[in-house]
Chains A and B, each alone.
Chain A
Amino acid sequence: MKSTPYLLSLPALLLFAVVVVVPLVMTVALSFHDWGQYKGIEPVFILKNWREVFTDSYYGEMFARTFRIAFFVTLLAALFGAPEAYILNRMKSPWRGVFLLVILGPLLISVVARTLGWALLFGGNSGLVNKALMSTGLISSPLPFMFTEAGMVVALAHVLMPYMVLAVWAALQRLDPQIENAAVALGAGPFTVVRRIVLPQVMPGILSGSIIVFVLAASAFATPAIIGGRRLKVASTLAYDEFLNTLNWPLGAVIAVLLLVALVLIVVSASRLVERRYAQVFG
């Protein structure tokens, strides 16, 4: 019967509607409600919250910070993750497995634990690295790490690195094993081989890894919450605060919806760009 496939996927569709679409629609609806310190949430349709977010420069700065951090995290992850994947791919049998585990192992540890590790190393005067550096006299005051954007970038890049390594690794696996030899036989040196043969071919992998890392960085919560605390807020920590501390749910909803829309737009246009650019070559 023609309708059988649809009937069969109905349960899954229903589940999807209940757990994804409904809350999403409700969040969007919530963003148009009114809220007051004493009256709570009023289910009316007003644009107050949206106007506030778009006119108050505080929110503009916060979103700019969110995407700036995500951008630098992506850059850092690509700069370190791509060479890491390449080196990993060239390793011989026993070492490759060992180092793959070393790189992917952190995924098994909670993000909170990994971020707290950074806090322990660099947190103020008592951070281990800061202490050590100050005792050797290399620096006179602790390196600023906590509550800084740089700190957030470094910690997030560390947390999200495995995703980049995996994406590039997958692209490297698709390379013809003889392709580097082919270039060498034609007289190319090792640097030329990487720049002109390997890099262009794994570029789609780097870009798709970048999209994943960017989205995860822009929507990350735990790491910005620990490193940035309440002083340096990004979209997700601000939305959290509005929901759970200020209890201004409608305003939190506006931020959440804006973050979602921005990310969807970025992801869709970036992947369209990648596809168009490489469709002809890699089919």
Chain B
Amino acid sequence: MAFLVLENLSKTFGTHKAVDGLSVSVEKGEFVALLGPSGCGKTTTLQMIAGFVEPTSGAIRLEGRDLLAVKPAERGLGIVFQSYALFPHMTVAENVVFGLEMQGVAAAERTKRVAETLELVGLAAFAARFPRQMSGGQQQRVALARALVIRPQILLLDEPLSNLDAKLREEMQIELRQIQRTVGTTTILVTHDQAEAMALSDRIVVMNQGRAEQIGPPHEAYERPATPFVANFLGKTNLVNGATVRPEKISFGVSGLAGKVRTRIFQGNHWLYQVDTAAGLVTVIRQNTGEAMPAEGADVHLAWQAAS
């Protein structure tokens, strides 16, 4: 039996269906991402699991027990909010220890666990700082430590990395994944960044207008999108003669679909091409291997393997 089950979950604000019959089951220790465009109901779903928003209909079960009957303060979930929502008047250590005090953990044990958790997120030296005195990435780790220290049954992350710049975000993704592996906490991540969802999660739930369009491992969703929406949302696609083809699957060859390079953009590790063909404009991505590549205006032929 699955660890956490969302069953036909719906939430209606006035007449607007924010979440519409969502069913997901999450295994213990699994890392699941809720992925979708802005306003598709990701935060609402997470808030229903946390207990801050009451579902209009549907059920949430944790290890078979009805979670909706449990008060938010007693659900024992770790949450990292998009804004971090750190307590600004408390030091890092005070922020992290707060949850343990609420659980009535003994003082000696509290000190030990706070130290351990700060060590885990690499902030051992920052215990006496106030949140204001820390960078965005450090604050994000404080928020993570505060959520992890209570040893939550489930970790809920609401766009935890969206406030960080691209480079730091990538570093934090790796760190987040490592920490989650170490601790083994079942994790649900909300994000609108498909690269982040694919990099971190075991399975992704692609959401659109409150509904799950596809649930599956990232690789599968990318390679075999269930709907055109999923195909588009998970990356660039070409629609050529009724078939969807990922741009990186297309190569320049001696035969195949004839075309003329309209634009060529250098992006460091790869080249991005726009090629005019009889079937319309086709996007092609080629690895930068150091070899000479067709220039703008060149006549080319495009070849690819039909999707299996």
Contact = CB atoms under 8 A, between A and B. Distances in A.
Contacts of B78: 185
B130 A281 contact: yes
Nearest to A185: B79
Q: How large is the interface on B (under 10, 10 to 19, 20 to 34, 35 or more residues)?
A: 20 to 34
B236 interface: no
Interface string B34-57: 000000000000000010100000
A191 to B, nearest CB: 11
A186 B102 contact: yes
A178 interface: yes
Interface string A197-220: 100110000000000000000000
A201 B87 CA distance: 9
Given A186-B98, A189-B73, A282 B150 contact: no
Contacts of A176: 83, 85
Interface residues of A, number: 21
A168 to B, nearest CB: 16
A186 B146 contact: yes
B160 interface: no
Contacts of A181: 50, 52, 72, 79, 81, 85
B89 interface: yes
Contacts, number: 66
Given A281-B130, A283-B132, A183 B83 contact: no
Contacts of B103: 187
A282 B88 contact: yes
Contacts of B79: 181-182, 185
A281 B132 CA distance: 7
A274 to B, nearest CB: 14
B83 A178 contact: yes
Interface string A169-182: 00000001011011
Contacts of B136: none
A33 B73 CA distance: 69
B165 to A, nearest CB: 21
Given A187-B74, A282-B132, A192 B102 contact: yes
A75 B150 CA distance: 39
B88 A183 contact: no
Contacts of B21: none
B29 interface: no
A280 interface: yes
A182 B99 CA distance: 10
A32 to B, nearest CB: 49
Given A282-B132, A283-B132, A185 B50 contact: yes
Contacts of A182: 79, 81, 85-87, 146
Given A181-B50, A182-B79, A187 B102 contact: yes
A184 interface: yes
Contact of B85 (A179, A187, A196, A280): A179
A197 B103 CA distance: 16
Nearest to A280: B130
A188 interface: yes
A111 B91 CA distance: 45
30 contacts: A176-B83, A176-B85, A178-B82, A181-B50, A181-B79, A181-B85, A182-B79, A182-B81, A182-B85, A182-B87, A183-B87, A184-B73, A185-B72, A185-B77, A185-B78, A186-B99, A186-B146, A187-B73, A187-B99, A187-B102, A187-B150, A188-B98, A188-B102, A192-B102, A280-B130, A280-B132, A280-B133, A281-B88, A282-B88, A282-B89
Instruction: In the A-B complex, list the 4 residue pairs whose CB atoms are closest, starting with the nearest.
Output: A187-B102, A186-B99, A182-B85, A178-B85
